[in-house]
Amino acid sequence: MSDDLGISMGLYNTLSAEGSPLTERDRMLVPIMTMLSLMLGNLSPEEMIGAGLLTTAFLVGTISRQCFRSGGKLRLLGTGFAIAVACAGILSFEHLKVPSVDQRPEIYGKTPFEKRPKVPGVGGELVCDGSSFLDDYGRTLMLRGVNLGGDSKIPVQPKGDTWRPDSFGDPETVSFVGRPFPLEEADEHLGRLRSWGFSFLRFIVTWEAIEHAGPGKYDAAYLDYLLAVIRKCAEHEISVFIDPHQDVWSRWTGGDGAPRWTLDKIGFNVSNLHTSGASVTHQEFGDPFPRMVWPTNYNRLAAATMFTLFFAGDVYAPNTLVDGVPVQTFLQGHYIAAMRKVAQTLQNETNVLGYDTLNEPSNGYVGLKSLNKALFPAPMGWFMSAFDGMRLGSGESLKVARFSAPLILHSMETVNPDGILAWKSQAHDVWQNEGVWQAASGSEPAKVLRSDHFALNAKGGPVNFMRDFMAPFFDRYREAIHAEHPSAVIFAEGFIDPNKPEHDPAPVNMQGGPKVAWAPHFYDGLTLILKRFRPWVALDLHSESPVLGERAASAAISSNLAKVRKSGASLANQPRGAPILVGEVGIPMDLDRDADGVAEAYKTGDFSAQIRALDRTMRALEDNLFSFTLWNYAAANSHKRGELWNDEDLSLFSRDDQGSSATEDLNSGGRALQAAVRPYPMKTCGTPLRLHFDALSASRRFEFEFIPTKCKDGAPTVLFVPSYQYPNGVTFESTSNNDAQEDNHDLANNVIYFSHPPQDAPVTIIIEANKT
């Protein structure tokens, strides 16, 4: 072990050299986490991460920081203290198990296929009124649904599963017809979602699905299929907003979204992106694919370049033209035109209520103060600076630090050992052409020419990416969509800034008036990255430190989401704010994988950890009275390959979990439904104040407090009351003594209608499960 430790410290010393992308904080944490991983090698990287996160507050905020600054014996003391606390954290993280949840089928309702409940949908247009969504009757809407679906990122033909080495196929003739599911399966899946109360879907499309054949060449068959599925949704009274999805730009850069030709037009040799280190893809890396390494592509040359050119090419690459057109105009123009084509196709569909702007875009290099810094904050995967990425793309071989998990140093590896060029030629290198850097030549090493090239905006001031680049893009996109579909709400989505755990405020300079909403994303980061859930720990995004204790951890998740709400208050400078829908939120279903990569729940059928993890997130959403769409529902999900994309597995449904009741119970195949399927106020004639549901109690107690107001035509409040949670019916109570109040129970369709005269005092509705 001492030899291993010496080797590891030698690697660390290499990383500490001048020009290393490691931050001062990481130079302190990496040796500690790496030593722990070597000394306790029988524990998994996830447990190491858990320990490190549990002790970050000590290391960075208190004793250890001072000790490290002092040097000498105090430095050694600080290291020893950190290791001791981390060891204790590791043991706790491993041995404090999640309490089990009663999942006996007999205590939850079954839904025969032929008796699917007819849950009412949103109906009519979506009205944005201050911070609320309203319906045509003036009722406050709480929108709930899912992302449909996670497997829509990849084509059906040829099979686009990322684990398949040949899944890139012929990029011009791919077909996404059949995503999210074949039309013949639509009634099954949509009926299931409707019965679960998910009446508002974030419907995933990709730019590649629409325009894969080449610039301006749209896939008519896919658009016809899309229209047919949307009309199927309408048959089930399900409304949608369209999500133009992408992750790290495209399938060829480790994710999904853009067509291959976008990379080709810029000058990349797309076939060489992985081998040159410009991207890392599941298809070419193979199995097992390192967990959560795909987001590190935001740090690599290909994705970082494409996002920089897409949003800010006019400023940072003014000499780069495509077919005689400025690169930013070319890329944004084709993307917006493709989405306008979708809006044109769907403009007459009354259940299409809005359009997202672009899923989780990146700022690329924009705002980077030095090319010697990494874009990704924590050392993870192959950790490199922006300058390293440019050098690799030019055909240079480099030794790069590889981390097996965040902060845990694995090895130094040679990337691009064969000197492969990511560009079609050196003459195609955008950043050399723009005078940012100069590649190595003969005895002359590569050198940075303008290290702060991306640090300033067009006016020479500090970059505010949201104000300077996102808001103008939002306005161009909104104008194009509203030209075809003027009643649609634009769900503006911010960018992924990995260096800021908290969301940037929405742009005040976006236009659009009352037809805009804010659509941020939120995940319980520890559970997502570790793929383990422990109810007594969470990460506070404001302090960037762990919170311990079950109540404190739950409060931290709720507080994190409260800050998400604040981030949208400034959208489009609306005087009363803008409504917010959390566009993505969810938990991994493949928690607690064993050495063979099999999740514990898939072996035992016990989804207690998943239920408790999702319930904690759902309670936080309800604390903040959020509308949301869960990530995700994937019809093609399997235990072995998840959503078929980079081994992600967050779907609420899987064929592999249907069992013998597949043809008898609409709920079969559902996962963590005890937490996901919940009563809630779909349409409130009044102002919601408080919402609480105790999913894990025998009573399933639901409380909803609101101030009743007058709605058009006497429209009632509509409560979703799922038979899954209340198979034997409910007891209903209102705290108001007003004789004019009225409740009408339609439990066959999972709803209760409640009418109450307007009043200033709050009314609380309480629903509990009948015992028999």
Give the catalytic positions in this structure: 360, 584
Q: Which amino acid makes up residue 640?
A: K
**From CA 418, how far away is CA 544, in angstroms rounded?**
40
Q: Which residues contact 281 (CB under 8 A, 6 or more apart)?
A: 162, 251, 252, 253, 254, 273, 274
Q: Do β-strands 763-769 and 702-708 pair in parallel, antiparallel, or remain unpaired?
A: antiparallel
Which SS3 state, helix, strand or coil, does residue 704 take?
A: strand
Q: Do β-strands 127-129 and 437-438 pair in parallel, antiparallel, or remain unpaired?
A: unpaired
Q: What does the angle CA 7 – CA 11 – CA 17 come to, to the nearest 5 degrees?
A: 145
**From CA 210, how far away is CA 221, in angstroms rounded?**
9
Q: Which residues contact 318 (CB under 8 A, 6 or more apart)?
A: 326, 434
Q: Which residues contact 17 (CB under 8 A, 6 or more apart)?
A: none
Q: Which residues contact 479 (CB under 8 A, 6 or more apart)?
A: none
Of 141, 119, 114, 113, which is closest to residue 236 (Cα–Cα)? 119
**From CA 195, how far away is CA 720, in angstroms rounded?**
10
**From CA 685, how far away is CA 757, in angstroms rounded?**
10
Would you list the DSSP string of 279-307? ---HHHH-SSPPTT-GGGGGGSHHHHHHH
Greatest extent of the chain over all pairs of C-alpha atoms, in Å: 91
User: By the 8 A CB rule, do 168 and 274 touch?
Assistant: no
Please give the C-alpha separations between residue 301 and each of 263, 304, 375, 528, in angstroms, as whole numbers: 12, 5, 10, 25
Cα atoms found within 13 Å of the Cα of residue 113, Cβ hemisphere only:
11
Two structure tokens written together for 610: 């998943």
Q: Which amino acid makes up residue 281?
A: T
Would you state the torsion angle of the CA atoms of residues 653, 655, 659, 662, taken in this order, to the nearest 10 degrees? 90
Give backbone dihedrals phi and psi of 424, rounded to 5 degrees, phi first. Answer: -65, -30
User: By the 8 A CB rule, do 134 and 141 touch?
Assistant: yes
Two structure tokens written together for 698: 């025998």
Q: Which amino acid makes up residue 85?
A: V
> Which residues are registered as beta bridge partners of 769?
730
Neighbours of 33 (CB within 10 A): 27
Neighbours of 136 (CB within 10 A): 15
**From CA 560, how far away is CA 265, in angstroms rounded?**
41
**From CA 119, how far away is CA 236, in angstroms rounded?**
8
**From CA 96, how far away is CA 553, in angstroms rounded?**
15
Neighbours of 558 (CB within 10 A): 18
Two structure tokens written together for 743: 């409740």
Q: Which residues contact 10 (CB under 8 A, 6 or more apart)?
A: none
Q: Which sign, positive or negative, has the C-alpha torsion 268, 273, 277, 280?
A: positive
User: By the 8 A CB rule, do 289 and 255 touch?
Assistant: no
Of 129, 93, 46, 8, which is closest to residue 597 (Cα–Cα)? 46
DSSP secondary structure letter of residue 580: B
User: By the 8 A CB rule, do 49 and 405 touch?
Assistant: yes
Q: Which sign, positive or negative, has the C-alpha torsion 639, 641, 644, 647?
A: positive
